[in-house]
Amino acid sequence: MKLYDFALAPNARRVRVFMAEKRLEIPVVEVKVRDGAMFEEPYRSMNPFAVVPFLELDDGTCIGESVSICRYLEELHPAPSLMGRDPRERALIDMWNRRVELDGYLPVMHSLRNADPAFRGRVVPGTRNDLVQFPEIAERGRDMLLILLERLDAQLSDGRFLAGGTFSIADITGYFMILLADRTGVPIPDDRPNVARWYEDVAGRPSVRDSS
């Protein structure tokens, strides 16, 4: 098994934190993303969606998508659990991970790509083209993040972590959402104390501290 990634990419860091929590060591191949290496062979055939990270199995199968990689690793190494120990818990963690990812992480990622000049010419992940940056997409990403943070603050008034008492993949996704938001100039608002407390808690974990 080999993991192809790019150390600075938030999606690559999500998978590395997941691996560190499970104490998994998998050989890593650094892809020269800034040189566009993922658009060239051998990477293009391995992952036609031209993003990192992706996981190559020993039979040559390539699994893309950070969460799908984590799902595969969770099945092979179920302890410590990061995605749930029974069908009900797995469904609830999946639900919280999706809420964070679809309502926050992705809108903020698109926000950054539509605002930061460094992403000109590659506004949509895995593409190189002349699509322009739209400030409106950056604005809507902030709107959606603030709606989500209000909901997460309510959820976190009840439990230590996003899916309840146990650290899970939803917290990893949430942590990197806050980091990305910070890069777009949106810190955690003062009136979301539970989110702020949770973020500091997650940021202090060795797996997270060592992932940068």
Q: How far is the CB of 64 from a second copy (least distance, A)?
A: 5
| Those residues with Cβ within 8 angstroms of residue 47's Cβ, 6 or more apart along the chain or in another chain | 4, 38, 54, 62, 64
Q: How far is the CB of 31 from a second copy (least distance, A)?
A: 18
Nearer to a second copy, 111 or 211 (CB): 111
For residues 62-91, which are near a second copy according to CB under 8 A? 63-65, 67-69, 71-72, 75-76, 87-88, 90-91
Q: How far is the CB of 210 from a second copy (least distance, A)?
A: 25
Q: How far is the CB of 181 from a second copy (least distance, A)?
A: 16
Q: How far is the CB of 126 from a second copy (least distance, A)?
A: 8
The reply to whether 205 sits near a second copy by the rule CB under 8 A is no
**Of 54, 55, 179, 21, nearest to 112 (Cα)?**
179
The reply to whether 5 sits near a second copy by the rule CB under 8 A is no
Q: How far is the CB of 116 from a second copy (least distance, A)?
A: 16
Query: What does the alpha-carbon distance between residue 32 and residue 52 come to, in Å, rounded to a whole number?
Result: 10
Hunting for tokens 């099945």 — which residue is that?
Answer: 75
The reply to whether 121 sits near a second copy by the rule CB under 8 A is no
Q: Where are the beta strands (DSSP E) in the chain?
A: 2-5, 28-30, 54-56, 62-64
Cβ contact 160:198 at 8 Å: yes
The separation between CA 62 and the C-alpha centre of its own chain, rounded to angstroms, equals 19
The reply to whether 137 sits near a second copy by the rule CB under 8 A is yes
Nearer to a second copy, 80 or 206 (CB): 80
Binding segment for a second copy among 126-134, 163-171, 178-186, 196-204 (CB under 8 A)? 126-134
For residues 164-203, which are near a second copy according to CB under 8 A? none
The token duo for 81 is: 């659990």
The reply to whether 58 sits near a second copy by the rule CB under 8 A is no
Hunting for tokens 């029974």 — which residue is that?
Answer: 86
Estimate the share of the chain in helix, then strand, then coil, as percent rounded to the nearest 5.
55, 5, 40
